Amino acid sequence: MPDYYRLPLRLDLLVRGADLIQQPQLAQQAGCSVEESIQNNVYLIITTKFKEVRFDPLFGCTIWDDDFQMGNDSANNGFWTDRVKTSVRDAVRRYEKRLERINVEVDLDRAGATDAHKRLYVVVTAEIRKSNHQPFEFRHELLIAPFISKKS
């Protein structure tokens, strides 16, 4: 059985638990590396609004609390990006215990975006605890107001 499972979950593979043990190729299809598992969790954190997860109202980040209130004022955008940076950093520290020395960078860019979209670049760098402090990096670009996700 793999330690971490690939998203989206392949339930058809997971219900065949004995087959996973006997057939390693099935386990490879169902499982993923620790890095991929952390990437998936960080992605879930930044794309989830507070109170969206019923059993834990603190899961998520503040991006979605006031994404339409940013406006075009650069001072307001600076305040907003600082708030998002703090929120993402705190959420990753709280919900991703496999990481340490977490650093978050957030950049908001309206150039090149059409209509009401603004590009939000999120970069999370850290070290993976149980792998001799292996470096970890998560990079993602979000088009917000309205929300669209795009891998960098």
pLDDT in tens, 66-97: 665 555 555 567 788 889 999 999 999 999 99
Average pLDDT over residues 92-109: 94
Q: Which pLDDT does position 73 carry in this prediction? A: 54
Q: Which pLDDT does position 148 carry in this prediction? A: 58
Q: Which pLDDT does position 111 carry in this prediction? A: 65
- Is the pLDDT at 135 greater than 90? The verdict is yes
Of the candidates 139, 88, 92, 84, the one whose C-alpha atom is nearest the C-alpha of residue 108 is: 84
- Confidence (pTM): 0.81
Q: Which pLDDT does position 118 carry in this prediction? A: 77
- Is the pLDDT at 6 greater than 90? The verdict is no
Question: How far, in Å, CA of 21 to CA of 19, rounded?
Answer: 5
In the chain, helix, strand, coil percent, each to 5?
40, 25, 35
- Is the pLDDT at 38 greater than 90? The verdict is yes
Classify residue 11 by burial, with Cβ atoms within 10 Å: 0-12, 13-18, 19+.
exposed
Q: Which pLDDT does position 142 carry in this prediction? A: 87
Beta-strand ranges (E) seen in the chain are: 99-109, 118-128, 134-144, 148-151
Would you kindly state where each structural domain of the chain is located, as residue ranges?
Answer: 62-151
Q: Which pLDDT does position 57 carry in this prediction? A: 92
